[in-house]
């Protein structure tokens, strides 16, 4: 990363001094331009959630006979979710910056939104609604907040062995790199039954202009980083977007289309966003989805056991995904202390807990800390000012949704791949000659991308760590909280048969 000659702030304006002192910008070796740049990069890297969250949540009719947002119109449902997603993400990212002064942004968490949609489909006969399940998200967020305020969540955070913290960071790096190549279509699920789980491009070869945009973006960002060009990642995203718009204008590729069986009929097209100039750059946001939740509806329709197990699943996902993300971002920003803990851990966790509540109350699914913030950190972000910038952009996106929606995933994905590579450089901090720590670290790292789930990787690492310690006769060295957490992970892995057993 490039370095700059710092000018003593002797002639700086009072406002600048106040901003610098509040966010500790100079103290952390940064400056305002870097923070703004980092906030911009983080936004463009994670802005896909404004498009993706409506795709995941909309289109499914719940027990009330309507789609999420209380409408029967798919376009209206998607618009409501998009605006709600941007509003909650904007408010919570700003809150993270102001309260915790940490360079991490928040938005609707992937995985939980899919879980909610799956629950609506699975329990359609119970007349379950999106509002009912959002109520469970609120309850889960309240429980998480209580665990933070009592100090339990922070204590667990500090009880994690240093090696596992490194492994979590590396695993997330590999995970987001994998997300990048999948989002760009560089790697795909084969259409032929019985073939390998994933393959290169289309039919085992690179084909299609969108994939070219991704490849150009990766190499451009890499070259700019090697040359220590400021704003390398942001420049790469913008340049790739411009290239995508030119290609779309020439070849009219259009969006992906799926047949009745869910099979992709035109694989050489854009994954989520068609990069074309919008007819209008502004729109009036509809906030109608905010407040659409029911606290007790799920308990009445699903029963206490099923609803409680769903809350437990949400709890574990939020609890440990955030821990892994915070460690990874703190490591990349060099903000961790000698024990691997970030500054103001309690504040970070409080804001993240409130974000879960806000996401449920906002009707858009639990909001959580985003690992894509690492792209902004790599661009120079070190303080909460970057999070504030990202949050403001999310709020602006509610008015300028057509403009921000121009960036295709193929243009943003290169940032994820490059950041994933940078995070994996921490592998050297793991003693691979010591099987007692190396095997749990290995499982933590590889299972995140293999299962497409951060929590699974962390859980496997915890369980392996405890089992190996027991096998070597070192059970006394295991932190008491690790016993408790590992027990919860065991329950997490067997929750489906446990739910069936209790229900039967």
Does 156 have pLDDT greater than 70? Answer: yes
Residues 366, 353: Cα–Cα separation, whole Å: 9
* pLDDT-based confidence at residue 184 (cuts at 50, 70, 90): confident
Return the SS3 of 107: strand
Rounded CA-CA distance 97/38 in Å is 13
The CA-atom distances, in angstroms, between 83 and each of 251, 269, 369, 373 are 31, 26, 19, 21
Tokens encoding 478: 């295991």
Q: Of 75, 418, 411, 46, whose CA–CA distance to 248 is shortest? A: 411
Lowest mean pLDDT among 170-184, 196-210, 355-369: 196-210
Give backbone dihedrals phi and psi of 283, rounded to 5 degrees, phi first: -155, 160
Longest CA pairwise span in the chain (Å): 73
What pLDDT was estimated at residue 103?
Answer: 97
pLDDT of residue 3: 38
Domain boundaries of the chain, sorted by first residue = 27-185+282-403+416-503
| Chain position carrying tokens 């369980």 | 463
Instruction: List b or e across 34-52, with b for residues whose CB sees 16 or more CB atoms inside 10 angstroms.
Output: bbbbbbbbbbbbbbbbbbb
pLDDT at 192: 65
Specify whether the CB–CB gap between 372 and 42 falls below 8 A.
Answer: yes
* Better pLDDT: 320 or 166: 166
Is pLDDT at 6 greater than 70 in this prediction? no
Which segments of 362-434 does DSSP mark as H helices, in order? 373-378, 384-397, 401-404, 409-424
For 429-465, what is each residue's pLDDT tens digit? 899 999 999 999 999 999 988 988 777 888 899 999 9
DSSP state string for 293-361: --SSHHHHHH-HHHHHHHHHHHHHHHHHHHHHHHHHHHHHTT---TTS--TTHHHHHHHHHHHHHHHHH
In 3D space, the residue among 463, 384, 489 whose CA is nearest the CA of residue 92 turns out to be 384
Q: Catalogue the E-assigned strands of 84-126.
A: 106-108
Q: What is the pLDDT of residue 463?
A: 95
> Residue 373 pLDDT > 70, yes or no?
yes
In contact, 379 and 234? CB cutoff 8 Å: yes
The position carrying tokens 């959002």 is: 134
Nearest Cα to Cα of residue 99 among 392, 387, 396: 387
pLDDT above 50 (res 299): yes
Q: Is the CB of residue 428 less than 8 Å from the CB of residue 465?
A: no
Q: Is the dihedral of CA 124, 126, 131, 137 positive or negative?
A: negative
Tell me: the pLDDT tens digits for 483-495? 988 988 888 788 7
* pLDDT at position 10: 39
Residue indicated by tokens 């923070």? 35
Q: How far apart are CA 280 and CA 406, in angstroms?
A: 12
Counting every residue written for the chain, the total comes to 504
Nearest CA to 128 out of 180, 63, 193, 200 is that of: 63
Burial class (CB in 10 A: 0-12, 13-18, 19+), 222: middle
Show the tokens assigned to 502. 């209790």
Q: Which two tokens stand for residue 303?
A: 């029963």
Residue 395 is predicted with a pLDDT of 96
Which tokens hold the place of 401?
């949704």
Secondary structure (DSSP) of 199-268: EETBTTB--SHHHHHHHHHHHHHHHHHHTT-TTHHHHHHHHHHHHHHHHHHHH---B--B-TTS-BS-TT
List of residues 6+ apart from 465 with CB closer than 8 A = 161, 164, 437, 440, 478, 482, 486
- CA–CA separation, 264 and 111 (whole Å): 22
């Amino acid at each position: 990363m490039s370095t700059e000659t710092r000018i003593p702030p002797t002639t700086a304006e009072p406002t600048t001094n106040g901003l610098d002192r509040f966010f500790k910008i100079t103290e952390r070796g940064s400056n305002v331009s870097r923070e703004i740049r980092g906030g911009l990069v983080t936004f463009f890297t994670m802005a896909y959630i404004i498009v993706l969250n409506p795709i995941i949540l909309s289109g499914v009719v719940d027990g009330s006979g309507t789609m999420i947002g209380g409408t029967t119109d798919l376009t209206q449902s998607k618009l409501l979710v998009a605006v709600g997603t941007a509003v909650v993400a904007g408010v919570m990212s700003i809150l993270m910056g102001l309260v915790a002064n940490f360079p991490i942004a928040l938005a609707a968490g992937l995985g939980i939104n899919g879980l909610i949609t799956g629950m609506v489909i699975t329990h359609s006969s119970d007349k379950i609604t999106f509002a009912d399940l959002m109520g469970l998200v609120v309850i889960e967020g309240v429980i998480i907040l209580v665990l933070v305020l009592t100090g339990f969540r922070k204590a667990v955070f500090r009880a994690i062995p240093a090696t596992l913290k490194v492994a979590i960071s590396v695993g997330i790096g590999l995970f987001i790199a994998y997300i990048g190549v999948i989002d760009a279509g560089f790697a795909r699920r084969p259409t032929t039954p019985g073939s390998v789980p994933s393959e290169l491009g289309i039919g085992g070869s690179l084909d299609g202009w969108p994939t070219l945009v991704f490849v150009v973006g990766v190499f451009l960002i890499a070259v700019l980083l090697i040359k220590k060009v400021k704003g390398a990642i942001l420049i790469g995203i913008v340049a790739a977007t411009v290239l995508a718009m030119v290609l779309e204008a020439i070849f009219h590729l259009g969006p992906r289309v799926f047949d009745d069986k869910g099979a992709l009929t035109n694989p050489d097209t854009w994954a989520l966003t068609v990069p074309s100039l919008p007819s209008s750059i502004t729109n009036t946001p509809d906030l109608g989805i905010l407040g659409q939740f029911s606290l007790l509806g799920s308990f009445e329709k699903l029963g206490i056991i099923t609803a409680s197990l769903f809350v437990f699943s949400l709890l574990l996902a939020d609890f440990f995904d955030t821990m892994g993300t915070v460690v990874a971002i703190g490591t990349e920003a060099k903000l961790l202390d000698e024990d691997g803990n970030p500054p103001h851990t309690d504040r970070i966790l409080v804001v993240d807990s409130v974000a879960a509540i806000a996401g449920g109350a906002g009707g858009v699914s639990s909001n959580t800390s985003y690992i894509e913030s690492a792209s902004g950190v790599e661009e120079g972000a070190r303080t909460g000012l970057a999070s504030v910038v990202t949050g403001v952009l999310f709020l602006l996106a509610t008015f300028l949704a057509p403009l921000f929606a121009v960036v295709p995933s193929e243009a943003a994905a290169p940032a994820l791949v490059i950041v994933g590579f940078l995070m994996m450089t921490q592998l050297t901090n793991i003693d691979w000659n010591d099987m007692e720590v190396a095997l749990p670290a290995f499982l933590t790292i590889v299972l995140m991308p293999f299962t497409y789930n951060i929590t699974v990787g962390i859980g496997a690492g915890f369980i392996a760590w405890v089992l190996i310690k027991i096998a070597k006769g070192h059970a006394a060295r295991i932190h008491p909280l690790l016993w408790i957490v590992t027990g919860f992970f065991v329950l997490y892995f067997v929750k489906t048969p446990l739910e069936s057993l209790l229900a039967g």
